[in-house]
Copies of this chain bind each other. A is one copy, B any other.
């Protein structure tokens, strides 16, 4: 069987690893490790700040679509991050209804720190890997994730993800 249909057993292994990574306890542990020591940001507001850093200054509605959260939740979390001094609200010059969310200098620093820390965590999870092995894995993993979550990079275009 490992000769005839090796892909099946390997797919099971991949599926199991995905399940492990998504498991609440492990997810939370990863987020907590990443955010440890940071004030003004937590597991729930982090995706908002991170998403804003990824797509750049944008309205709450745009950002909400990107991270898959409701508009109302996004604006509430944005208020928390604003209170923590990590982002600002500015009226849009083009649309008087819209508000532009933008990272402050402190917000930028925060994101830089968190990105670096996550990178370190990842590198620690690849002990002794050769650069070529890391490169191949990065390519493959990226492709798998893109295919798994659908074509869009991060958010989804479906109306109600709930």
The interface of chain A, by Cβ under 8 A from chain B, is 6-8, 10-32, 47, 50, 67-69, 115, 118-119, 121-127, 131, 133-150, 153-156, 158, 161-162
Name the prevailing secondary structure of the A interface residues. Answer: helix
Q: How far, in angstroms, from A131 to B24 measured CA to CA in the complex?
A: 31
Residue from B124, B131, B135, B156 in contact with A26 in the complex, judged by beta carbons closer than 8 Å: B156
Known: A19-B118, A147-B124. A25 touches B67 (CB 8 A): yes
Extra contacts besides A10-B135, A11-B119, A13-B139 (18): CB < 8 Å: A6-B131, A7-B131, A12-B115, A14-B134, A14-B137, A17-B142, A17-B145, A24-B69, A25-B68, A25-B156, A28-B68, A28-B162, A32-B162, A122-B144, A125-B143, A126-B147, A137-B141, A141-B141
Are B134 and A11 touching (Cβ within 8 A)?
yes
The count of identical subunits is 2
B147/A125 in contact, CB under 8 A: yes
Which of B19, B137, B149 is in CB contact (< 8 Å) with A50?
B19
**Complex contact B161–A10 (CB within 8 A):** no
